[in-house]
């Protein structure tokens, strides 16, 4: 059964990629990891903006800007995983679990160090996906 939302389709794409799951297994969470999450690395993702707009005559496409965050205490592995996420989405027009992708681009990764942790690092990848259902 295909995803009912583009957000679900993003998760399905991440979980279908061994270049991601080799690191995180299935630790991919919507917006925030559970408070008892202690195993690193893990991924969180969320919608930043979403809009519908005309695309060609008579057709409408939707566009989502999403943020994928890789959380890790090993900067080298975190950077490698973030780069794998970039490669999975950047310049892709592959269908995503029931959604036709017209284009997909990424920005990042940007590395942010958590000041409240000894060595927890967040790698942020921004996604911009133009799609049709």
Which positions ≥6 away from 54 have C-beta within 8 Å?
60, 61
Is the pLDDT assigned to residue 29 strictly greater than 60?
yes
The mean pLDDT of 3-30, rounded to a whole number, is 96
- Sheet (strand 28-30) strand order: 28-30, 42-54, 60-72, 121-132, 100-113
- The hierarchical CATH code for the domain 6-132 is 3.30.2000.30
Do 121 and 112 touch, CB atoms closer than 8 A? yes
Q: Encode pLDDT of 39-83 as tens digits.
A: 999 999 999 998 876 555 556 789 999 999 999 999 999 999 999
Q: DSSP label at 58?
A: T
What global pTM score does this model have?
0.90
Considering the chain, what is the average pLDDT of its residues? Answer: 91
Do 109 and 82 touch, CB atoms closer than 8 A? yes
Segments making up each domain of the chain, as ranges: 6-132
Is the pLDDT assigned to residue 119 strictly greater than 90?
no
pLDDT value for 55? 53
Q: How confident is the model at residue 30 (pLDDT cuts 50, 70, 90)?
A: very high
d(CA 82, CA 65): 17
């Amino acid at each position: 059964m295909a995803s009912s939302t583009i957000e679900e389709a993003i998760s399905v794409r991440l979980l279908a990629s061994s270049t991601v799951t080799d690191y995180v297994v299935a630790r991919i969470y919507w917006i925030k990891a559970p408070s008892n999450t202690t195993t690193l690395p893990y991924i969180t993702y969320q919608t930043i903006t979403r809009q519908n707009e005309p695309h060609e005559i008579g057709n409408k496409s939707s566009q989502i800007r999403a943020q994928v965050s890789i959380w890790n205490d090993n900067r080298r592995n975190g950077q490698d995983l973030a780069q794998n996420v970039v490669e999975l989405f950047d310049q892709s027009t592959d269908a995503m679990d029931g959604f036709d992708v017209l284009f997909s681009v990424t920005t990042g990764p940007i590395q942010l160090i958590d000041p409240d942790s000894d060595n927890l690092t967040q790698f942020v990848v921004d996604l911009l996906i133009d799609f049709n259902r």
